[in-house]
Amino acid sequence: MTHSSEKPEAPTDTAADATKQNSASKPEQPANAPSAAKPASSAAAPTKHAQEASSSGKGLAVLALLFGLGGLGAGIWSVLHIQSAGDLSAQQQQQLTSMRTQTADLIAREQRLSQTLAQMPSASQLQQGRELLASVQAEQQLLTQRLETILGASRQDWRLAEAEHLLRMASLRLTALHDTSSARFLLQAADHILVEQDDPAAFAAREQLALSIAALNSSNTLDRTGLFVQLGALHQQASQLTHLAPEFVQGPGQQAEVAQGDGAGRWAQWWEHISRYVRIDFNASEQVQPLLAGQSLTQVRLALGLALEQAQWAALNGATEVYQQALKQALAILDAHFSVKDSSVSSLRAQLSELHEQKISQELPNLNTALITLQAYISTRSAPQESSPEESN
């Protein structure tokens, strides 16, 4: 603001210089000029001076106003600049803090990386490991190729050996247990293996297997297991048989005589007591069998059980003659020592008679031909083939 107080003096000096120049530029009036003109010129001079002074004052005021507005604007701009500089400083401070945090994280990561790198093997160790890995991979590839070669050649041989084993098991099931259903299933499994071979040389073996399967399908299926179980149930039933002592029922006349209490009544009472143990039949149409005691009944039961067990063994082994003879012996024991009037005895006898007529043997196909044909095919396939002269050349 000191500049504004010093500048107004310059226009005053300028106005004085201008007045002097005007007075100097004016021509000198002659000495003999009339005296009336002097008062007029002296009166006009102050008026012009006053006008010039007023115009110069207005200019100074406007100039001072402009300088004040400029200073005010400069002050406002400086205040705003200071505020923005403060905000920028705060942002820079935050950025500096975040950068320090990031720097600390980077330092920690660098330390961890340094520790990890320190634990890692050296370049020479890595090179040795790579060489070892390459050698192991090469050996593994070589072993894989060898294994594929071996498996490719022997996998079919294994399957053929499995077919031979299935055929042997089917033959064993037929000869030992006469199990036609299991033998048929085993033969079909062996034929399926030959189908997978897709080899025309297996035609003869497949033909023999087809003949054996057709023979098993045409034969009747015997339930030997069911027959064995049924005979076992009859054996248990036979062990519970008891010989019933004969009992006689008195007539109504005898009971009336006993009720009177005379001599005849005493005789009837005595006769009733004796008739429980002794019976006289003069018109017996059947052969009279003696009553069995306890030991004799046990022996009869044992003989009947042995006959039924022999029939079980014959049923499992397909021995028709032994089976029929054992059942005949069981029927003879029942007829000789037990009463047919007993319901349990009659039921047991009827079941044994029904089983006596049942067949326990059948004609089974011989699987030896199929087995020999399959073995010949396997030996032909496994034998090394001789190269022809053209191929050797």
Burial label for 88, CB within 10 Å (0-12, 13-18, 19+), is exposed
What would the two tokens of residue 17 be? 């210089």
In the chain, where the domains are located? 55-112, 157-220+368-382, 224-242+294-356
Q: What is the pLDDT of residue 150?
A: 66
| DSSP assignment of 206-227 | HHHHHHHHHHHHHSPPP-HHHH
Q: What is the pLDDT of residue 34?
A: 41
Q: Write down the residue that tokens 């120049």 correspond to.
A: 21
Distance of CA 366 to the CA centre of its chain: 45
Cβ proximity of 187 and 209 under 8 Å:
yes
**Contact partners, residue 3, CB within 8 Å, separation at least 6:** 67
Cβ proximity of 300 and 333 under 8 Å:
yes
Chunked mean pLDDT (size 10), the chain, 393 residues:
40 44 43 42 56 74 85 85 82 87 90 84 82 88 77 75 92 83 91 89 91 85 80 87 55 48 65 66 52 67 90 85 91 84 86 86 84 90 54 41
Q: How far apart are CA 340 and CA 5, in angstroms?
A: 164
Q: What is the pLDDT of residue 175?
A: 83
Please, what is the angle between helix 180-197 and helix 123-172, to 10°?
Answer: 140
What is the 8-class DSSP label of residue 143? H
The H-assigned helical ranges of the chain are 2-6, 9-25, 37-119, 123-172, 180-197, 203-218, 224-238, 252-260, 263-274, 294-317, 320-337, 343-356, 368-382, 389-392
Task: Give me the long-range contacts of 320-323 (CB less than 8 A, separation at least 24).
Answer: 320/359, 320/360, 320/361, 323/360
Q: How far apart are CA 266 and CA 271, in angstroms?
A: 8
Neighbour tally for 167: CB within 10 Å: 28
Q: What is the pLDDT of residue 152?
A: 60
Give me the torsion for CA of 230, 234, 236, 237, rounded to 10°: 140
Q: What is the pLDDT of residue 71?
A: 84
Cβ proximity of 360 and 320 under 8 Å:
yes
